[in-house]
Amino acid sequence: KNEVEQSPQNLTAQEGEFITINCSYSVGISALHWLQQHPGGGIVSLFMLSSGKKKHGRLIATINIQEKHSSLHITASHPRDSAVYICAVATGNQFYFGTGTSLTVIP
Amino acid sequence: KAGVTQTPRYLIKTRGQQVTLSCSPISGHRSVSWYQQTPGQGLQFLFEYFSETQRNKGNFPGRFSGRQFSNSRSEMNVSTLELGDSALYLCASSSLNTRGSYNEQFFGPGTRLTVL
Protein backbone atom coordinates (compact mmCIF):
# COMPACT_ATOMS: atom_id res chain seq x y z
CA LYS A 1 0.00 0.00 0.00
CA ASN A 2 1.40 3.38 -1.00
CA GLU A 3 1.02 6.20 1.46
CA VAL A 4 1.25 8.73 -1.41
CA GLU A 5 -0.44 8.35 -4.79
CA GLN A 6 0.20 10.67 -7.72
CA SER A 7 -1.59 11.04 -11.00
CA PRO A 8 -1.04 11.04 -13.84
CA GLN A 9 2.21 9.07 -14.10
CA ASN A 10 3.03 10.62 -17.46
CA LEU A 11 1.82 13.83 -19.03
CA THR A 12 2.52 15.41 -22.40
CA ALA A 13 1.34 18.94 -23.04
CA GLN A 14 1.64 21.58 -25.71
CA GLU A 15 3.46 24.75 -24.78
CA GLY A 16 1.05 27.21 -23.18
CA GLU A 17 -1.34 24.62 -21.77
CA PHE A 18 -2.56 24.61 -18.18
CA ILE A 19 -1.31 21.54 -16.32
CA THR A 20 -2.55 19.85 -13.17
CA ILE A 21 -0.82 17.10 -11.22
CA ASN A 22 -2.65 15.45 -8.36
CA CYS A 23 -1.45 13.91 -5.10
CA SER A 24 -3.45 11.94 -2.56
CA TYR A 25 -2.11 10.65 0.72
CA SER A 26 -3.35 8.35 3.43
CA VAL A 27 -1.34 9.37 6.51
CA GLY A 28 -1.52 12.28 8.90
CA ILE A 29 0.99 14.88 7.82
CA SER A 30 2.80 17.88 9.18
CA ALA A 31 3.56 19.20 5.69
CA LEU A 32 3.38 18.31 2.01
CA HIS A 33 6.20 19.07 -0.40
CA TRP A 34 6.25 19.37 -4.16
CA LEU A 35 9.62 18.59 -5.71
CA GLN A 36 10.96 18.95 -9.23
CA GLN A 37 13.61 16.63 -10.63
CA HIS A 38 15.34 17.25 -13.93
CA PRO A 39 17.22 14.63 -15.94
CA GLY A 40 20.56 14.10 -14.26
CA GLY A 41 18.98 13.81 -10.84
CA GLY A 42 19.01 17.26 -9.24
CA ILE A 43 15.96 17.87 -7.04
CA VAL A 44 14.54 21.28 -6.29
CA SER A 45 11.90 21.95 -3.68
CA LEU A 46 9.05 23.91 -5.25
CA PHE A 47 6.60 24.22 -2.38
CA MET A 48 6.06 23.21 1.20
CA LEU A 49 2.42 23.35 2.29
CA SER A 50 0.51 22.64 5.44
CA SER A 51 -2.71 24.39 4.43
CA GLY A 52 -4.30 26.50 1.73
CA LYS A 53 -2.53 27.63 -1.39
CA LYS A 54 0.86 28.95 -2.48
CA LYS A 55 1.99 30.58 -5.72
CA HIS A 56 5.45 31.06 -7.21
CA GLY A 57 5.40 32.60 -10.65
CA ARG A 58 3.49 30.24 -12.96
CA LEU A 59 3.27 27.48 -10.34
CA ILE A 60 0.40 27.11 -7.90
CA ALA A 61 0.05 24.46 -5.20
CA THR A 62 -3.05 23.76 -3.18
CA ILE A 63 -3.81 21.39 -0.36
CA ASN A 64 -7.06 20.15 1.19
CA ILE A 65 -6.21 18.64 4.55
CA GLN A 66 -9.69 17.19 5.14
CA GLU A 67 -9.66 15.38 1.80
CA LYS A 68 -5.93 14.52 2.03
CA HIS A 69 -5.33 15.84 -1.44
CA SER A 70 -3.01 18.32 -3.08
CA SER A 71 -2.66 19.66 -6.60
CA LEU A 72 0.20 21.30 -8.44
CA HIS A 73 -0.81 23.58 -11.29
CA ILE A 74 1.42 25.03 -13.99
CA THR A 75 -0.04 27.89 -15.96
CA ALA A 76 1.22 28.72 -19.45
CA SER A 77 3.49 25.66 -19.55
CA HIS A 78 6.90 25.94 -21.20
CA PRO A 79 9.35 23.31 -22.47
CA ARG A 80 11.69 24.16 -19.57
CA ASP A 81 8.97 22.84 -17.24
CA SER A 82 9.70 19.34 -18.58
CA ALA A 83 10.77 17.34 -15.55
CA VAL A 84 9.54 14.80 -13.03
CA TYR A 85 7.32 16.28 -10.32
CA ILE A 86 7.26 14.44 -7.02
CA CYS A 87 4.83 14.80 -4.15
CA ALA A 88 6.23 14.07 -0.69
CA VAL A 89 4.57 14.11 2.71
CA ALA A 90 6.22 14.61 6.07
CA THR A 91 4.73 12.84 9.04
CA GLY A 92 6.09 13.16 12.56
CA ASN A 93 9.13 11.08 11.83
CA GLN A 94 9.03 9.94 8.22
CA PHE A 95 8.97 11.17 4.67
CA TYR A 96 6.85 9.34 2.08
CA PHE A 97 7.16 9.98 -1.63
CA GLY A 98 4.90 9.56 -4.61
CA THR A 99 6.25 7.81 -7.66
CA GLY A 100 6.39 11.04 -9.61
CA THR A 101 4.74 12.54 -12.67
CA SER A 102 6.89 12.79 -15.77
CA LEU A 103 5.92 15.97 -17.64
CA THR A 104 6.97 16.72 -21.21
CA VAL A 105 6.02 20.08 -22.68
CA ILE A 106 6.27 20.20 -26.46
CA PRO A 107 7.07 23.52 -28.18
CA LYS B 1 25.21 30.85 0.29
CA ALA B 2 26.79 27.67 -1.01
CA GLY B 3 24.37 24.84 -1.67
CA VAL B 4 24.37 21.31 -0.35
CA THR B 5 27.40 19.39 -1.54
CA GLN B 6 27.87 15.65 -1.74
CA THR B 7 31.00 13.64 -2.33
CA PRO B 8 31.84 11.62 -4.23
CA ARG B 9 29.45 12.15 -7.13
CA TYR B 10 30.01 8.72 -8.60
CA LEU B 11 31.21 5.51 -7.02
CA ILE B 12 31.64 1.93 -8.19
CA LYS B 13 31.97 -0.84 -5.62
CA THR B 14 31.70 -4.62 -5.60
CA ARG B 15 29.39 -6.80 -3.55
CA GLY B 16 30.47 -7.24 0.03
CA GLN B 17 32.42 -3.99 0.21
CA GLN B 18 31.41 -1.04 2.31
CA VAL B 19 31.02 2.59 1.28
CA THR B 20 30.92 5.98 2.98
CA LEU B 21 29.17 8.96 1.42
CA SER B 22 29.53 12.54 2.61
CA CYS B 23 27.13 15.47 2.72
CA SER B 24 27.86 19.09 3.64
CA PRO B 25 24.68 21.05 4.37
CA ILE B 26 23.93 24.68 3.74
CA SER B 27 25.61 26.83 6.36
CA GLY B 28 23.34 27.20 9.37
CA HIS B 29 21.21 24.16 8.59
CA ARG B 30 21.35 21.61 11.39
CA SER B 31 19.04 18.98 9.91
CA VAL B 32 20.40 16.57 7.31
CA SER B 33 18.26 13.86 5.73
CA TRP B 34 19.35 11.03 3.49
CA TYR B 35 17.32 9.41 0.71
CA GLN B 36 17.75 6.52 -1.69
CA GLN B 37 16.35 6.73 -5.21
CA THR B 38 16.05 3.69 -7.47
CA PRO B 39 14.06 3.16 -10.67
CA GLY B 40 12.01 0.43 -9.02
CA GLN B 41 11.27 1.92 -5.60
CA GLY B 42 11.54 5.62 -6.31
CA LEU B 43 12.59 7.91 -3.51
CA GLN B 44 12.77 6.44 -0.03
CA PHE B 45 13.67 8.07 3.25
CA LEU B 46 16.74 6.62 4.97
CA PHE B 47 17.26 8.73 8.09
CA GLU B 48 17.51 12.24 9.44
CA TYR B 49 20.09 13.77 11.74
CA PHE B 50 19.79 16.88 13.83
CA SER B 51 22.50 18.20 16.13
CA GLU B 52 24.53 14.99 15.83
CA THR B 53 21.55 12.79 16.81
CA GLN B 54 19.53 10.50 14.57
CA ARG B 55 15.99 11.76 15.02
CA ASN B 56 14.13 9.71 12.45
CA LYS B 57 14.73 6.52 10.52
CA GLY B 58 13.13 4.86 7.53
CA ASN B 59 12.65 1.17 6.89
CA PHE B 60 16.12 0.14 5.85
CA PRO B 61 18.28 -2.67 7.27
CA GLY B 62 21.00 -2.02 9.79
CA ARG B 63 23.62 -2.15 7.04
CA PHE B 64 22.66 1.47 6.40
CA SER B 65 23.94 3.82 9.05
CA GLY B 66 24.93 7.40 9.40
CA ARG B 67 26.32 10.05 11.64
CA GLN B 68 26.51 13.78 11.92
CA PHE B 69 29.41 15.88 13.10
CA SER B 70 29.41 19.01 15.21
CA ASN B 71 29.70 21.17 12.08
CA SER B 72 26.48 19.49 10.76
CA ARG B 73 28.30 17.61 8.02
CA SER B 74 26.93 14.12 7.72
CA GLU B 75 28.11 10.78 6.45
CA MET B 76 26.20 7.67 5.59
CA ASN B 77 27.72 4.23 5.49
CA VAL B 78 26.52 1.09 3.78
CA SER B 79 28.23 -2.12 4.81
CA THR B 80 28.25 -5.46 3.00
CA LEU B 81 27.03 -3.96 -0.25
CA GLU B 82 24.43 -5.82 -2.29
CA LEU B 83 23.57 -5.40 -5.96
CA GLY B 84 20.25 -3.85 -4.94
CA ASP B 85 22.05 -1.02 -3.18
CA SER B 86 22.88 0.50 -6.56
CA ALA B 87 21.06 3.80 -6.46
CA LEU B 88 21.26 7.56 -6.36
CA TYR B 89 21.81 8.65 -2.76
CA LEU B 90 20.60 12.15 -2.03
CA CYS B 91 21.00 14.25 1.04
CA ALA B 92 19.00 17.33 1.91
CA SER B 93 19.47 19.97 4.56
CA SER B 94 16.90 22.04 6.31
CA SER B 95 16.44 24.49 9.09
CA LEU B 96 13.73 23.93 11.68
CA ASN B 97 10.85 26.30 12.32
CA THR B 98 9.73 27.49 15.73
CA ARG B 99 7.36 24.50 15.98
CA GLY B 100 10.27 22.12 15.59
CA SER B 101 9.19 20.78 12.21
CA TYR B 102 11.00 20.94 8.90
CA ASN B 103 11.27 23.99 6.75
CA GLU B 104 11.95 23.66 3.04
CA GLN B 105 14.51 20.98 2.15
CA PHE B 106 17.49 21.80 -0.04
CA PHE B 107 18.84 18.83 -1.93
CA GLY B 108 22.38 18.02 -2.94
CA PRO B 109 23.26 16.69 -6.40
CA GLY B 110 23.47 13.10 -5.16
CA THR B 111 26.02 10.30 -5.22
CA ARG B 112 25.41 7.65 -7.83
CA LEU B 113 26.52 4.31 -6.41
CA THR B 114 26.94 1.28 -8.64
CA VAL B 115 27.47 -2.10 -7.03
CA LEU B 116 28.94 -4.78 -9.31
> Between A43, A45, A97, which is nearest B42 by CB?
A97
Local structure of residue B81 (DSSP, 8 states): -
Mean pLDDT of B91-109: 83
- Pairing verdict, β A101-106 and A10-14: parallel
Cα angle vertex B95, ends B89, B101, to 5°? 95
**Within 13 A of A31's CA, how many CA atoms are on the CB side?**
18
- Chain B environment of A86 (Cβ under 8 Å): 42-43
The helix, strand and coil proportions of chain A, stated in percent and rounded to the nearest 5, come to: 5, 60, 35
**Percent of chain B at pLDDT exceeding 70:** 96
- Tens digit of pLDDT for each residue in A35-88? 999 987 789 999 999 999 999 999 999 999 999 999 999 999 999 999 999 999
- Residue B86: its pLDDT value, please? 97
pLDDT at residue B56 tops 90: no
Q: Please tell me if residue B56 touches chain A, with a CB cutoff of 8 Å.
A: yes
- Tens digit of pLDDT for each residue in B63-78? 999 999 999 999 999 9
Give the total residue count for chain A: 107
Alpha-carbon gap, residue B75 to B94, rounded angstroms: 16
Average pLDDT, chain B: 93
Choose between B14 and A40: higher pLDDT: B14
Confidence of residue A30 (pLDDT cuts 50, 70, 90): confident
Among A90-94, B22-26, B57-61, whose mean pLDDT is lowest? Answer: A90-94
- Tens digit of pLDDT for each residue in B19-50? 999 999 999 999 999 999 999 889 999 999 99
- Chain A environment of B107 (Cβ under 8 Å): 35, 42-45
Contact B68, B49 (CB under 8 A): yes
Give the gap in angstroms from C-alpha B17 to the nearest C-alpha of chain A: 25
- Residue in B with minimal Cα distance to A39: B109
Confidence of residue B102 (pLDDT cuts 50, 70, 90): confident
